[in-house]
Structure 1
Amino acid sequence: MSRLLQGLAWLNRGIERLLHGLLLALVFGFILFIIYQVLSRNLPFMPRLYWTEEFSRFAFQWMVMLGAAVGVLHADHFVLEAFPRGSRADLFTRVVRDLACLLLGVLFVVYGKDFGLSGLRRNATASGLSMVYVYSVFAVSGAFMVLFSLQRLLHAALYGMDAMERSLNTPSDLDAIDVSESGNTPLNVKHGAPPLEPNRHGGDR
């Protein structure tokens, strides 16, 4: 199992590097398309290229879905912790979180495949681009989500949830907060601030 995890981690590292480069290219392309649209609408000598509007939307869709997949690997999506850190309920919800990401990825692959193939029958209005290149983003993103979720779950099964999160999760300021110390609150402990003391002179300042 450890060799399987090592192989999966090696594969996912390569995928992550590829996605970072692709996302960077998509961001620059998106910005350039938007800038050209703004300039062409205000400068009469510039031709109106309507396909840039389509490509900016397509780039945005790919950015969102591929970025969501990378967020699964590092648990960058929004999380609301409802239970004390380290409790059984907290551990259960963290496992369910990764299982839910795995299930979502499977659903994207299963249903996104048919949705992507439906793009073979449609073309973009201005550019004439086959919509299969746009609709397939769900299946592609789902496949990456499955791989990233499997790595997280396998790592947690072999070495524990805490070890997995220390290895893969994006560091957060909240992780360094120790709320078990009496007299301290998360706001007081952060950045080494001393505990707040009540106003002993009465009234508000």
Structure 2
Amino acid sequence: MPTLLHGLSRLNRLLERGLYLILLALLTGFIALIIYQIISRNLPLLPRLYWTEEFSRFAFQWMIMLGTAVGVLHADHFVLEAFPRGSRADLVTRWIRDLACLSVGVIFIVYGKDFALSGLRRHATASGLSMVYVYSVFLISGIFISLFSVQRLLHALYEGMDSMEAALNTPSEIESISESADPHSAELGELAPALNDHDRSAS
């Protein structure tokens, strides 16, 4: 494995672990805020904290965008396979898939920077939080998407698309089912000649 790809893989592995921790914290905070909102509506003793609605919404937005970046690394997004697996058209569409993800990441970086800076002039209504912390989600997500897409493309370039997908893609349930069915069909194929010989000797 080339040095560039090896270094990028190690970096992305660390970033992925950090993203998992951040996503776990965001999910925990999101659930806690939602539970508090439900309880405060039914218990007059608890104060109605309107900023909890904003923070839960902001946490949800960050979870979606950061989760999308992790999904790009492992090809967990929806993919329509229109051509037979292993055909030239199928290989081309798989390259287009990862190039399209890289393009989206670059777009998020280019336009997300100005969008994030526009948040400096805006504040959340209830909490007064600067919206730069919310609007910067596109910029941050674009950086992760670009890094993960470059790793996939470099891996496919150096070692082939099949090797890259085997190393990075989340295993497909359909493919695992078909692979588990293949040994049975192979065993039946091996038993068929023996059964035929037995039938001939019996006759």
Letter in 1 for 2:15: I
2:18 is aligned to: 18
The structural deviation recorded for 1:175 is 2.3
Deviations 1:10-48 (A, max 9, x none): 000010000000000000000000000000011100000
2:174 is aligned to: 174
The structural deviation recorded for 1:178 is 4.9
Alpha-carbon distance in 2 for matches of 1:94, 1:149: 12
Q: 1:191 to 1:104 in 2, by over 3 A?
A: farther
1:66 is aligned to: 66
1:115 is aligned to: 115
TM-score, normalization: structure 2?
A: 0.87
2:42 is aligned to: 42
Long gaps (5+) in structure 1: 180-188, 194-205
The structural deviation recorded for 1:190 is 8.8
Higher helix share: 2
Describe how 1:22-171 pairs up with structure 2 within 5 A. Answer: 22-171=22-171
RMSD (Å), alpha carbons? 1.9
**Percent of matched pairs sharing the same residue:** 71
Larger radius of gyration: 2
The structural deviation recorded for 1:118 is 0.2
Deviations 1:107-145 (A, max 9, x none): 000001000000000001111100000000000000000
Long gaps (5+) in structure 2: 186-203
The structural deviation recorded for 1:170 is 0.5
Alpha-carbon distance in 1 for matches of 2:20, 2:12: 12
Aligned residue pairs total 185
TM-score, normalization: structure 1?
A: 0.86
Q: 1:100 to 1:40 in 2, by over 3 A?
A: same
